[in-house]
Amino acid sequence: MIEYLMDSAYYKSIPYLYEGMKLTLYITIVGLFLGFILGAFAGLGRLSKYSIIRAISTVYVEVTRGTPILAQVLFIYYGLTVVNIGELTSAIIAITINAGAYIAEIVRGAVHSIDRGQHEAGRSVGLTEKQTMRYIIWPQAFKRMIPPLGNQFIISLKDTSLFSVIAVAEVLYMGKQYYNATFEIFETLIMVCVFYLIITIPTSIILRRVERKLDV
Amino acid sequence: MITVKDLHKSFGDNEVLKGIDAKVDEQEVVCVIGPSGSGKSTFLRCLNLLEDITAGEVTIDGDVITDPKVNINEIRSQVGMVFQHFNLFPHKTVIENITLGPVKVKKISEEEAKEAALPLLDKVGLGDKADAYPDSLSGGQKQRVAIARSLAMEPKVMLFDEPTSALDPELVGDVLQVMKDLAEEGMTMVVVTHEMGFAKEVGDRVLFMDEGIVMEEGDPNQIFDDPQNPRTQEFLSKIL
Ligand SMILES: Nc1ncnc2c1ncn2[C@@H]1O[C@H](COP(=O)(O)OP(=O)(O)OP(=O)(O)O)[C@@H](O)[C@H]1O
Ligand SMILES: [Mg+2]
């Protein structure tokens, strides 16, 4: 039994998938980090008092959420070939833009959920709009963003598997390469899933703990 | 100290304040009473520009705050406001709640702000709660912290919007006592409240608001014991 396992994809694919997982995580983390910045702007933009900023943010969020991420990445990869940004950059941009739209909704929801009285109390001690946002609203809202952001991390992590279509060497792509050579399709795919689960299950558990601790 | 001339405030088509004229002298305590929806909160909120005013003129200590060129933040920092639901900052300790305004608005050091805040906490009877978080306090304690937070900005006027109506009856007294002390020190105050005992004892004048105007005003004893306007009579008969 042990010998069989050691001699099959269950074991032998691990180094390949490990390499793929590193890239998967890299794309997810960089993409989410940039996506958070984009999402924070778009989310706050949707709450702006200027209708033009609200309109731009809303169009971005709705167009992005209303179209498949696969179409988005193909659009970025082939649509931007003039500048030839390569598959890895395309993948990161796709995650940034896609997650950014969902994060915008997370940010908007969290900021919106803070009682209006907090804003009024801030303003009534003389804080400016910006100071009120920075010292009062944002810290409270950010706490409420943590659980849904964790969720978004899991979603985006899985979304990176779509980038195998543009030959990004993420974990699913590496798996495909492996079973194309060895024909151990079933075993390899099992291992691909295991790699995802190694990240997603602990993330879920940590999130639930954090959620309980934050009491949000 | 405060002069209000023909103040109007509309939310869309809904005119909530329909021409309010009022004067509050320095060191005066004016209580505002009136039925729900009559515009009492809106009136107070106009006095520190938490609402933008539709028409009319409000002057506070010589500054025409309705002038569009006025520095709103500076005005607000001079007018303290205490809310029905306290609105303490839950992510900050009691002392941080109090020092945030002085540090960020008046730009004094954290140290100085703390030094100034501690006597304020003592004054509201919460000297031992400096490092507590608001969630661990009772409603009455929260409201007293909220009062200390406003006082830390050294306001010229304090506005109170039903400061005790969200409190359990046994917690009301401590808050009213703090307000009474403030009044005795000469703070100019506008207080929306239905606490008749407080209005009679501490108030210099009572305004009865109904449907967006001041229907009747006068000495607290006169208003409560001998109201002239039928609307005032009707209202008082309901709450007494
Ligand atoms: N932000 C707002 N947008 C629209 N309408 C508002 C707003 N704030 C208040 N109103 C309306 O203005 C009217 C007066 O409200 P206000 O809160 O000033 O009354 P109040 O006298 O303080 O009542 P209460 O005793 O219930 O606190 C109400 O009809 C209310 O619906
Ligand atoms: Mg009110």
| Burial of A211 (C-beta count, 10 Å sphere; 0-12/13-18/19+) | middle
- What atom of ligand 1 comes closest to residue B44's alpha carbon? 18
* CA pair distance A126, A116, nearest whole angstrom: 16
In this complex, which of B45, B79, B87 lies closest to A121 when CB atoms are compared?
B87
* Per-residue confidence band for A216, with pLDDT thresholds at 50, 70 and 90: low
Tell me the mean pLDDT in the region A45-65.
96
**Three-class SS state of B98:** helix
**Percentage of chain A modeled with pLDDT above 70:** 99
| Cβ–Cβ below 8 Å for B81 and A118 | no
Nearest CA in chain B to A127: B105
Q: Which residue has the higher pLDDT, A216 or B222?
A: B222
pLDDT of residue A86: 86
Rounded to a whole number of angstroms, the distance from the CA of A119 to the nearest CA of chain B is 9
Complex ipTM:
0.89
Number of helices followed by number of strands (H, E) in chain B = 9, 10
Q: How many other CB atoms sit within 10 Å of the CB of residue B43?
A: 27
DSSP type of residue A46: T
Distance of CA B108 to the CA centre of its chain: 25
Q: Is B237 in the pocket of ligand 1 (CB under 6 A)?
A: no
Q: Which residue has the higher pLDDT, A214 or B184?
A: B184
| Cβ–Cβ below 8 Å for B91 and A140 | yes
- Output the tens digit of pLDDT for each of chain B's 240 residues: 899 999 999 999 999 999 999 999 999 999 999 999 999 999 999 998 899 899 999 999 888 888 888 888 888 888 999 999 999 999 999 999 999 999 999 999 999 999 999 999 999 999 999 999 999 999 999 999 999 999 999 999 999 999 999 999 888 999 999 999 999 999 999 999 988 889 989 999 999 999 999 999 999 999 999 999 999 999 998 876
* CA pair distance B208, B236, nearest whole angstrom: 10
Domains of chain B are: 2-89+157-237 (3.40.50.300)
Cα B60 to averaged position of ligand 1 atoms, centre (Å): 23
Q: What is the pLDDT of residues A116-169, one digit of tens each?
A: 999 999 999 989 999 999 999 999 999 999 999 999 999 999 999 999 999 899
Cα B43 to averaged position of ligand 1 atoms, centre (Å): 9
Any chain A CB within 8 A of the CB of B65?
no
Nearest ligand to the CA atom of B161:
2
Domains of chain A are: 2-214 (1.10.3720.10)
User: In this structure, is the dihedral angle defined by the CA atoms of residues A35, A40, A41 and A43, taken in order, positive or negative?
Assistant: positive
pLDDT of residue B72: 81
Q: Compute the mean pLDDT over every residue in chain A, rounded to the nearest whole number.
A: 93
Helix H or strand E encompassing A16: helix A14-45
Rounded to a whole number of angstroms, the distance from the CA of B212 to the nearest CA of chain A is 22
| Burial of B117 (C-beta count, 10 Å sphere; 0-12/13-18/19+) | buried
In Å, how far are B121, B141, B145, B163, B176 from B128, measured between CA atoms? 8, 11, 12, 22, 20
Residue A82 pLDDT > 80: no
Residues B161, B82 contacting (CB under 8 angstroms): yes
Nearest ligand to the CA atom of B10:
1
Q: What is the pLDDT of residues A164-204, one digit of tens each?
A: 999 899 999 999 999 999 999 999 999 999 999 999 999 99
Q: What is the pLDDT of residues A93-105, one digit of tens each?
A: 999 999 999 999 9
In this complex, which of B85, B91, B149 lies closest to A125 when CB atoms are compared?
B149
Encode B188-231 in three state secondary structure. Answer: EEEEECCCHHHHHHHCCEEEEEECCEEEEEECHHHHHHCCCCHH
pLDDT of residue A136: 96
Nearest CA in chain B to A140: B91
* CA pair distance B24, B217, nearest whole angstrom: 12
pTM, to two decimals: 0.88
Residues A163, B113 contacting (CB under 8 angstroms): no
pLDDT of residue A80: 76
* Per-residue confidence band for A3, with pLDDT thresholds at 50, 70 and 90: confident
